[in-house]
Amino acid sequence: MANTFIDEDFLLRSVTARELYHGIAKKLPIIDYHCHLDPRMVAEDHKFRSITELWLGGDHYKWRAMRANGVAERYVTGDASDWEKFEKWAETVPYAMRNPLYHWTHLELKTAFGIETLLNPRTAREIFDQCNDQLANDPGMTARGLMRRYNVEVVCTTDDPTDSLEWHKKVAESGFECKVLPTWRPDKAMAVENAASFRTYVERLEVASGKTISNFADFADALQNRHDYFASLGCKLSDHGLEEFYAEEFSDVETAEIFNKVYGGKELSASEIRTFKSAMLYLFGVQDAEAGWAQQYHYGAMRNNNTKMFNLIGPDTGYDSIGECNTAAAMAKHLDRLNSAGKLGKTIIYNLNPSANEVIATMIGNFQDGTLAGKIQWGAGWWFLDQKDGMEKQMNALSLQGLLSRFVGMLTDSRSFVSYPRHEYFRRTLCNMIGRDVEKGELPFEGYEAERIRQMVADICYNNAKGYFNF
């Protein structure tokens, strides 16, 4: 059965939408400025053993759907064979109608493998064999080949300050035409909830930086050393995964005392933890501003909620959810603290709870300073919100409270080399939204204004990100 519902005009419900997508958005390269790809796989041009490894390995979106469909963990993250896992996913797909996974699954099959057959239990073996045959015999079906296929220009991975970045260096030295750049993710440097774990991390930082750490000043110096190292390899962004923002009052003396306490093996009080995190967020912001980087804040996730499964298979396995956190006041205070010191650089804020959409849409307007168009950004729909409904709500709220035209657009936030159709999905959604406004007579589409709209589409899909991050 042919995949006729995802044709060339999928999601494009007007003449204007089709013109904008096919004439402008479709042909633009992809800048994927936030992802979780393994740079080693790019450096080694990894060849995938099967569609299961490529498609189901590490994909907690699919894992959650399979569990909800009654699939036993053995077929999700366990020791079942590649075919058995794929078969269980194929059995789940027909039950995923109206979940974005249904669209993504068929977009990925079509764009990566040229397969337009709908995936279900009856077609599973045929599709499994077709995909595996291409992966085995088509030299373009490797990590780098897939990036070329999707016209990827830049990807930014997510990396701890202690990472050697050896695989990023090897990619750069290889002459691969797609830039694979690191992103500074220093979450562990402020994770003082467990004294022993924090001490272990500081010791790792000591080794990575080559600097002895005996107090907070040494700690900050070692982080700066690694920050400079990341910059030397093309890093342009930081990223921070937060449950909430932290903006407690702190002093240099107090921060140093808290560091000495936790580094010495003593557990901190809840107040001390928040104070230290506040000091670290400020330090990170200063470092980023001085380097000319963009700082990203992903906030609002409740992680690893299922203790039983965390103990069995670890973190990042599909047991996270949207949190309820009233953090607007702390967010404003943190940004204002940096701004008052002249250290608020380019900033992107991503919320996971859609109830905060208008909060963020209005928050970013507080700190635009006229030095750079769109300096403070509201990031694209993230995680549970990176689907058609979430994208539309984010862009509608941004349009009402800010300037959609200055938006830096989509990213995959993915570990998969076939997740790039999420950019296509976003671009189709964007063009359909704008086309709908034109067809309803709510936007002009002639003369200068038509050119402005065409330029807006190109900017959101590609140009804004390229300029904002100085790629």
Instruction: Write a three-state SS string for the chain.
Output: CECCCCCCCCCCCCHHHHHHHHHCHHHCCEEECCCCCCHHHHHCCCECCCHHHHHHCCCHHHHHHHHHCCCCHHHCCCCCCHHHHHHHHHHHHHHHCCCHHHHHHHHHHHHHHCCCECCCCCCHHHHHHHHHHHHHHCCCCEHHHHHHHCCEEEEECCECCCCCCHHHHHHHHHCCCCEEECCECCHHHHCCCCHHHHHHHHHHHHHHHCCCCCCHHHHHHHHHHHHHHHHHCCCCEEEEEECCCCCCCCCHHHHHHHHHHHHCCCCCCHHHHHHHHHHHHHHHHHHHHHHCCEEEEEECEECCCCHHHHHHHCCCCCCCEECCCCCHHHHHHHHHHHHHCCCCCEEEEEECCHHHHHHHHHHHHHHCCCCCCCCEEECCCCHHHCCHHHHHHHHHHHHHHCCHHHCCCCCCCCCCCCCCHHHHHHHHHHHHHHHHHHHCCCCCCCHHHHHHHHHHHHHHHHHHHHHHCCC
**Predicted local distance difference test score (pLDDT) of residue 325:** 80
* pLDDT above 80 (res 3): no
pLDDT tens digits for 152-203?
999 999 999 999 999 999 999 999 999 999 999 999 999 999 999 999 999 9
Percent of the chain surpassing pLDDT 90: 98
What average pLDDT does the segment 325-353 reach?
Answer: 97
Mean pLDDT of 415-431: 97
- Tens of pLDDT, residue by residue over 69-81, are 999 999 999 999 9
Question: What does the pLDDT look like over 201-239, one tens digit per residue?
Answer: 999 999 999 999 999 999 999 999 999 999 999 999 999
pLDDT in tens, 33-55: 999 999 999 999 999 999 999 99
* Mean pLDDT in residue range 281-289: 98
Q: What pLDDT band is residue 2 in, cutting at 50, 70 and 90?
A: low
Q: Could you report the per-residue pLDDT of 305-316, keeping only the tens digit for each?
A: 999 999 999 998
Query: Does residue 1 surpass a pLDDT of 70?
Result: no
pTM, two decimals, is 0.97
**pLDDT at residue 5, rounded to an integer:** 83
Mean pLDDT for the stretch of residues 340-365: 98
